[in-house]
Amino acid sequence: MSDETLQYPLGKYQPLDAPSAAQLEAFIDEIAEFPALLRKTLRGLSEEQLETPYRQGGWTVRQLVHHIGDSHLNSLIRFKWALTEDNPTIKAYDQDLWAETPDVGETPVAINLDFLEALHRKWVALLRSLAPADWQRTFVHPVTGRQFTLHWLVGLYAWHGKHHTAHIQRLKEREGWG
């Protein structure tokens, strides 16, 4: 299996230029369902298995789960900035350094799963409340200087959850973890 396939088991994110209302609703449904999918995917993994990298040079499963929580929290904040400010420049963060902070090794994965469930309930409530024009609101990424819409961001995070779940599922398959 190629490193590209291991890194991007579902392929890279392919945004839709102008998603329909039905497509936006499907993205929101995927975000709503994600915590349960992740919990099911992690069920039965031992502490030793949680310390296994999903690919050579990649994060451990534990780091991956914590990354998801950190990333999805940042996404919620980015939505709120874009909804309350005119084309704000968001705050970037170094996800690799965040994956090394002490809480990652010290906080049980179960706590992070509970955090994700609460975060996603709040996030989905916000997403379901958006008017059609809200999806066109934008923010600027400070590293790339690119402007992004909220419809781009919701699609990215629907993909993001599936992307990282696939990392864990493929690892379980390769290792025969049932």
CATH number at residue 101: 1.20.120.450
Share the mean pLDDT of the chain.
Answer: 96
- DSSP-assigned beta bridge partners for residue 148: 139
For residues 79 and 90, the answer to whether their CB atoms sit within 8 Å is: no
In degrees, rounded to 5, the angle at the alpha carbon of residue 12 between the alpha carbons of residues 133 and 131 is 10
pLDDT at residue 87 tops 80: yes
Task: Taking each helix axis as running N to C, give the angle between helix 21-42 and helix 109-128, from 0 to 180 degrees, rounded to the nearest 10.
Answer: 170
Q: Is residue 24 part of a domain?
A: no
Determine the average pLDDT of the residues in 31-50. 98
* Confidence category of residue 128, pLDDT binned at 50, 70, 90: very high
Q: Is residue 11 part of a domain?
A: no
Determine the average pLDDT of the residues in 157-162. 98
pLDDT at 4: 83
Q: Is residue 50 part of a domain?
A: yes
The rounded distance, in Å, linking the Cα atoms of 107 and 95 is 17
The structure's pTM equals: 0.95
Q: Is residue 22 part of a domain?
A: no
Q: Give the rounded percent of residues in the chain with a pLDDT score beyond 90.
A: 95
pLDDT at residue 5 tops 90: no
What's the DSSP call for residue 88?
Answer: P
Q: Is residue 163 part of a domain?
A: yes
Query: Measured between alpha carbons, how far is residue 128 from residues 4, 32, 106, 178 in Å?
Result: 34, 10, 34, 36
Query: Measured between alpha carbons, how far is residue 87 from residues 50, 73, 149 in Å?
Result: 39, 19, 9
Q: Give the total number of structural domains in the chain.
A: 1
pLDDT at 1: 66
Q: Is residue 38 part of a domain?
A: no
pLDDT top residue among 178 and 132: 132
* Confidence category of residue 178, pLDDT binned at 50, 70, 90: confident
Q: Is residue 167 part of a domain?
A: yes
Domain span including residue 63? 45-175
* Confidence category of residue 67, pLDDT binned at 50, 70, 90: very high
pLDDT at residue 154 tops 90: yes
